[in-house]
Amino acid sequence: MRVSVLRTGEESYRFVWSFHHILMDGWCLFLVVGEAFHTYFAILEDRKLELAPVTPYSEYIEWLDRQDHAEAERFWRDYFAGFEQQTVLPQVKQLDGH
């Protein structure tokens, strides 16, 4: 994730926030951007910032470890039943012959 603030004039700025799509999907992008703006406006209005409690990622990993792995495997085997081969992605021909 990369964040930049660029000064474009005496009192004007551009805020550039870029990230790889694997880092944030549409669901979490909404949450992260919402929290960023909530924080920004709290600072602008000189009010106390109140954010929702955050669950550590380690708790999610612990939850995953407690799941029934045999049941999870059955679920995915059933879900993908009938698929005969992998999905083939289109390839781009390179001009240099590689």
Q: How far apart are CA 15 and CA 33, in angstroms?
A: 13
Residues in contact with 16: Cβ distance below 8 Å, sequence separation at least 6, in sequence order: 2, 3, 4, 5, 6
- Averaged over 53-82, what is the pLDDT? 94
The pLDDT of residue 97 is above 70? no
Specify the higher pLDDT residue, 89 or 6.
Answer: 6
Q: How far apart are CA 82 and CA 34, in angstroms?
A: 41
Pull the structure tokens for residue 97.
């012959």
Query: Using an 8 Å Cβ cutoff, are 28 and 54 in contact?
Result: no
Q: Which of 41, 23, 43 is nearest to 32 (CA)?
A: 23
pLDDT digits (tens, 9 = 90+) for 19-56: 888 888 888 889 888 999 999 999 999 999 988 898 99
Domain boundaries, the chain: 23-68
